[in-house]
Amino acid sequence: MSSDGYPRNFRPDEFLCNCGKRCESTDPSATKHLAWVLQQIRDLVNVPIKINSAYRCPTHNRAVGGHPKSYHMRGWAADLSPVGVDPTELHAAIEDLVKSKRIPAGGVGLYKTFVHYDIQAGPKRWRG
């Protein structure tokens, strides 16, 4: 864990909105918890993971077609692209961590080029 409270493989700026204004979540403790969970995933797959989108301000969420109640707007979600590994492998690793109760069940969505993961209270699964 670094001095800013983020795990070693993730930086705070990776969790800012991509809207161009560098907006950030109003719940930094939840975002740090998400970062900690992502580190558990990163440790299991043992490859770098690129965060395509984490926090989204409401304006940016609408612009990218995000769900009106997206967990991205709370700082609870991230869209992840593993480097050098197919997203299906990352998806399987996340499900293994959930089954072993090492990370929250949350929301997991598999897309062609990335995996969505969020720390919502209950399990939700989908394919994009």
CATH assignment at residue 26: 3.30.1380.10
Q: Is residue 117 part of a domain?
A: yes
In the sheet where 49-53 sits, what is the strand order? 49-53, 77-82, 115-118, 107-110, 124-127
Is 44 contained in some domain?
yes
Q: Note down the domain range covering 106.
A: 12-127
Q: 51 is written with which tokens?
A: 């965060």
Nearest to 43, CA basis, from 108, 111, 96, 113: 96
pLDDT value at position 113?
96
Only one residue has tokens 């983020």, namely 6
Residue 33 within any structural domain of the chain: yes
Enter the pTM of the model: 0.93
Over residues 85-100, the pLDDT tens digits come to: 999 999 999 999 999 9
> 61 lies in a domain?
yes
CB-based burial label for 12 (10 Å; 0-12, 13-18, 19+): middle
Tell me the per-residue pLDDT of 10-39, one tens digit each, with 9 for 90 and over.
999 999 999 999 899 999 999 999 999 999
**Number of independent structural domains in the chain:** 1
